Amino acid sequence: MKLQLLGGMTAREFLRDYWHKKPLLVRDAIPGFKGLLSPAKMKDLACSEGVESRLVRGGRHWSLGHGGPFRPADFSKLPRRDWTLLVQSLDHHLASGAELIERFTFIPRARLDDLMVSYAVPGGGVGPHFDSYDVFLLQGMGHRRWRISAQDDLDLVEGLPLKILKRFEVEEEYLLGPGDMLYLPPKYAHDGVAEDECMTYSIGFRAPAFQELGEGFLDFLHDELELPGRYADSELALQKHSAEIPKTMLAQIGEELEKVRWDAELVEAFVGRYFSEPKPDVFFRPPARPLGAKAFAARLAKNGLKLDSKTRLLFSGTQFFVNGEDFGATGPERRALMQLADTRALPPADYGEALTGLFHDWYTAGWAHV
Ligand code: SIN
Ligand code: CO
């Protein structure tokens, strides 16, 4: 299917020709798109508890103000030019943000990170930089001038609180208006400067460093590890130097450690848990007066189920991963869960005792709603 969002390309063509490879400018990617919230509403969000926000001041000196929550007075003191306010995880705070991100599910959900919004006054931006992940930059209100470069020189200015490129050699320049979108592959140098009061929505992706994944995997293995027995040396021979570690000791321990092994199943469990784990600052809001099991089943049969916007539900074969936990499912239960994972909702129906019980637990934890 050809997608206006991708400039009339199919998702398959986009993945083949652009994803991770080269930038794509799409005029009118979302026709009529004016943005999801007003600057005033965005400032309100930046003043709320549990919302990650930052203020960046540009001009001659780059500075990263304190993070949120802000006070309304913080914004009234700012100059008329050269600053920008960023709010992270808009998809968690706004239903329309969660809906916007759904347009990008031609990329696996495990790779989707969050929707960030920036508000900038004229001249505002975060400076010439690169990101380590792919990004779709969708223009809402106003206009932003993007300058981009495929340069390999990614040296950063030292001693700044922000990642600012030491040298930036502009290769292409685009002025984006409401509904226009620019896709950039990882490490593509870019600088977006507000022409007028403007807002930009960034759909970002997760690309963890292998070091980070390795450390996470070792933590995971730690919990899974089972090495029975204890060091023993019934054949201990007298040695010349009492401080020398016996060779037999090294050999025996080495042999035991060789038993720390993993297989594809364990890797699957790790990857599923890792990518479905909500960020540490995510808190679910359980219902104040939750329905009991029976009332819940009736409501589920009448209204269906909707995942909370913060819930991450992924699967691999018959294994399902929800907010860092895993479980298996087969048959019609698996099919229902796959539908829920793909579309984030289930229509009204009787889902059987086991699934209804599971959904009730999720509902009680604030992970899903009926
Ligand atoms: C912005 O919206 O100002 C910054 C987005 C980005 O450059 O990644
Ligand atoms: Co960027």
In a domain, 274, yes or no: no
In one-letter notation, the amino acid at residue 66 is: H
Domain of 80?
2-205
CA–CA–CA angle 258, 319, 265 (5° rounding): 15
Q: Are residues 300 and 315 in the same domain?
A: yes
In a domain, 285, yes or no: no
In a domain, 268, yes or no: no
Q: Are residues 78 and 222 in the same domain?
A: no
Q: Which residues contact 159 (CB under 8 A, 6 or more apart)?
A: none
In a domain, 34, yes or no: yes
Separation CA 356–CA 90 (nearest Å): 30
Q: Are residues 194 and 215 in the same domain?
A: no
DSSP, residue by residue, 34-84 = --SS-HHHHHHHHTSTT--EEEEE-TTS-EE---S---HHHHHTS-SSSEE
Which protein residues have a CB closer than 5 Å to ligand 2 (ion)?
Answer: 131
In a domain, 151, yes or no: yes
In a domain, 30, yes or no: yes
Q: How far is CA 80 from the centre of its chain?
A: 32
Q: Are residues 49 and 190 in the same domain?
A: yes
Q: Are residues 217 and 299 in the same domain?
A: no
Q: What is the pLDDT along the chain (370 residues), one digit of tens a residue?
A: 999 999 999 999 999 999 999 999 999 999 999 999 999 999 999 999 999 999 998 866 677 766 779 999 998 889 999 999 999 999 999 999 999 999 999 999 999 999 999 999 999 999 999 999 999 999 999 999 999 999 999 999 998 888 999 999 999 999 999 999 999 999 999 999 999 999 999 999 999 999 999 999 999 999 999 999 999 999 999 999 999 999 999 999 999 999 999 999 999 999 999 999 999 989 999 999 999 999 999 999 999 999 999 999 999 999 999 999 999 999 999 999 999 999 999 999 999 999 999 999 999 999 999 9
CA 275 / ligand 2 centre spacing (Å): 22
Pocket test residue of 83, 134, 135, 137 for ligand 1, highest count of atoms within 8 A of CB? 137
Any ligand 1 atom below 6 A from CB of 139: no
If one counts the domains in the chain, the total is 3
Under 8 Å between Cβ of 95 and 309? yes
Q: What letters, b where the CB count within 10 A reaches 16 and e where it falls short, cover 121-137?
A: bbbbbbbbbbbebbbbb
In a domain, 340, yes or no: yes
Residue 30: CATH number of its domain: 2.60.120.650
pTM for this predicted structure:
0.93
Instruction: Please report, to the nearest 10 degrees, the dihedral formed by the alpha carbons of residues 218, 219, 220, 222 taken in order.
Output: 80
Q: Are residues 26 and 91 in the same domain?
A: yes
Query: According to the model, what pLDDT value does residue 63 have?
Result: 73
DSSP, residue by residue, 177-238 = -TT-EEEE-TT-EEEEEESSSEEEEEEEE----HHHHHHHHHHHHHHH----S----TTPPP
Query: According to the model, what pLDDT value does residue 68 have?
Result: 78
Any ligand 1 atom below 6 A from CB of 202: yes
Query: According to the model, what pLDDT value does residue 59 have?
Result: 67
Q: Are residues 96 and 170 in the same domain?
A: yes
In a domain, 280, yes or no: no
Residue 305: CATH number of its domain: 3.40.366.30
Q: Are residues 298 and 246 in the same domain?
A: no
Smallest CA separation from ligand 1 atom 1, residue: 118
Q: Are residues 103 and 200 in the same domain?
A: yes
Any ligand 1 atom below 6 A from CB of 88: no
